[in-house]
Amino acid sequence: MKYVDKLRNSGLRPTKQRLQICEVLFNTEKTYHFTINDLALKIKNQLNNKISLATVYNTVHAFEKKGYLKQIPINSNQTYFDTNISDHHHFYDLKEEKLIDLENSDVGPINILKKINGKKIKSVEVLVKLED
Amino acid sequence: MKYVDKLRNSGLRPTKQRLQICEVLFNTEKTYHFTINDLALKIKNQLNNKISLATVYNTVHAFEKKGYLKQIPINSNQTYFDTNISDHHHFYDLKEEKLIDLENSDVGPINILKKINGKKIKSVEVLVKLED
DNA sequence: ACACTTTTTTAGAATCATTATAAACTACCA
DNA sequence: TGGTAGTTTATAATGATTCTAAAAAAGTGT
Ligand SMILES: [Mn+2]
Ligand SMILES: [Mn+2]
Ligand SMILES: [Zn+2]
Ligand SMILES: [Zn+2]
């Protein structure tokens, strides 16, 4: 099992549920932008066993804390997550309500000139909203 | 009353509640970044009459639709609004949970190189997360 | 394998921001 | 002033997320 070590190394027990969620989330080249609801549906369709919604929440949060997922700041009633944990930016298609990756090279360097005393920059994220 | 025309010109009747909310929101030079809860508290403290929570929601959404407020995309369980409707960016102080304006000149031009077929850019927003 | 501890899963309840409802109220216009 | 459309309000409903606590599973040592 390719995800057993990943989980063990993070101090997370490689349970059946976590391994299956790993398969759904990470067993592809493509970035997956999702809400908990998206993921729960995907699990229901891809797997023949059920994982409780509480476990989906628990697992996503555990993975986020370990740095295997990140949250994307967006105005929505649902929280969006991203399997692409590299520093990168996003298009947000307002009509489709879908995120699209923008590589750093698609945006160019962003230089923040203003400084706030005693604070340091943790991340710089660009959100480009798209309309038709 | 300085806000009567503003409201009339937008097709919004200048009710007592809306005028009072205008005072709280716009009667200052400073940008106000707020959640509905922030605003409801400010109203309770500044005014000696009560405005129902439903009206606060209704009014904020009406003002947003008319372009007098904008929403700031951020990961929070509450929606953040901004009285500064110009194109500008934000620091987000993770500890204080407060937004700080970044003028466009504090960030420099952002050039989005990637194009999506049939879509056009509606906005470009930068969120800079700050930690201690 | 067994006993024991710790972590995890789970169904269901609780929370809480937000939206919907519908009746009372108000602004506006003829 | 009367009529009408728009607005406010208390309250209920919704829905994403978190909490609870009991059952199940995983890890550890023997
Ligand atoms: Mn959110
Ligand atoms: Mn939000
Ligand atoms: Zn992404
Ligand atoms: Zn601002």
The 10s digit of each residue's pLDDT in A63-97 is 999 999 999 999 999 999 999 999 899 999 998 88
Which of the listed residues A70, A85, A100 is the one where a domain comes to its end? A85
Q: In this structure, are A73 and A100 located in the same domain?
A: no
Check residues 4 to 43 of chain B and report those whose beta carbon is under 7 Å from nucleic acid strand D.
12-13, 15-18
**Domain's final residue, options B51, B66, B85:** B85
* A107/B112 CB distance under 8 A: yes
Asked whether residue A19 falls in the same domain as residue A80, the answer is: yes
Residues B74 and B90 in one domain: no
Rounded to 10°, the helix A53-66/A16-26 angle is 70
- Same domain? For A13 and A66 the reply is yes
Environment of ion ligand 2 (residues, CB < 5 A): B 79
Q: What's the CATH code of the domain at A16?
A: 1.10.10.10
Distances in whole angstroms, Cα of residue A16 to Cα of each of A4, A12, A20, A59, B44: 10, 12, 6, 12, 51
Q: Is the pLDDT of residue A1 over 80?
A: no
DSSP string, chain B: -TTHHHHHHTT----HHHHHHHHHHHSSSS--EEEHHHHHHHHHHH-SS---HHHHHHHHHHHHHHTS-EEE--SSSS-EEES--SS-EEEEETTTTEEEEE-GGGT---------TT-EEEEEEEEEEEE-
Q: What is the pLDDT of residues A111-129, one digit of tens each?
A: 999 999 999 999 999 999 9
Asked whether residue A46 falls in the same domain as residue A109, the answer is no
- For chain B, what is the mean pLDDT? 94
CA of B61 vs chain A CAs: smallest distance (Å): 14
**Are B65 and B90 found together in one domain?**
no
CA–CA separation, A26 and A32 (whole Å)? 8
Residues B105 and B73 in one domain: no
Instruction: Provide the residues around ligand 1 (an ion) whose CB is within 5 A.
Output: A 79
Select from A85, A100, A122 the last residue of a domain: A85
B71, B16: one domain: yes
- Residue B1: pLDDT over 70: no
Distance between the alpha carbon (CA) of B77 and the C1' atom of C17, Å: 7
B80: which 2 tokens? 């953040």
Q: If you average pLDDT over residues B96-108, what whole number do you get?
A: 91
* Count of CB pairs separated by less than 8 Å, A with B: 114
- What pLDDT sits at residue A95? 87
> Domain limits at A99?
86-132
Claim to verify: residue A59 and residue A124 sit in the same structural domain: no
Answer for the pair A77, A86: CB distance below 8 angstroms, yes or no.
Answer: no
pLDDT digits (tens, 9 = 90+) for B43-90: 999 999 999 999 999 999 999 999 999 999 999 999 999 999 998 999
**Shared-domain flag, residues B44 and B56:** yes
Do A93 and A34 sit in the same domain of this protein?
Answer: no
Q: Which pLDDT band holds residue A55 (cuts at 50, 70, 90)?
A: very high
- Residue A57 has a pLDDT of 98
* Number of domains present in the structure of chain B: 2
Higher pLDDT, A20 or A108: A20
A77 and A12 in contact (C-beta within 8 Å)? Answer: no
Q: In terms of domains, do A3 and A21 share one?
A: yes
